[in-house]
Structures are given as C-alpha cells and as structure tokens.
Amino acid sequence: MANYSTVFNQLLALIPRYHFERFVNSFNGDRYVKTLKCWNQLG
C-alpha cells in the first residue's frame, strides 16, 4: 500500500516546531491544557 503525504502535512513540515512552541508559550496557549496540546491539535 502506498503512503502519500497530504498537502496539509506538507504545510506542517514547513513550520519549525521550536518557533511554534515559542509562540504558544508567549501567549500561554497550553496554560490550562491537560491532554491535547497545541502542537497535537495542529497536527
């Protein structure tokens, strides 16, 4: 079975996780989160 990368997955590959986490921390995006973090929700 072939494995294809979706367009959304290709766009996520362009976002460095370090920069994303820095922005989330600057706005306290994961402040009250217990299970579903911002990065998991994005991907």
Could you report the per-residue pLDDT of 1-43, keeping only the tens digit for each? 677 788 888 888 898 989 989 999 999 999 998 899 888 888 7
d(CA 21, CA 4): 27
Domain presence at residue 29? yes
Domain presence at residue 17? yes
Q: Whole-prediction pTM value?
A: 0.69
Domain presence at residue 1? no
Distances (CA, A) of 21 to 1, 7, 28, 36, 39: 34, 22, 10, 14, 8
Domain presence at residue 38? yes
In the DSSP assignment, the letter for residue 34 is S
**Parent domain of 29:** 7-42
Token pair of 30 as six digits: 């994961």
d(CA 22, CA 5): 26
Token pair of 31 as six digits: 């402040």
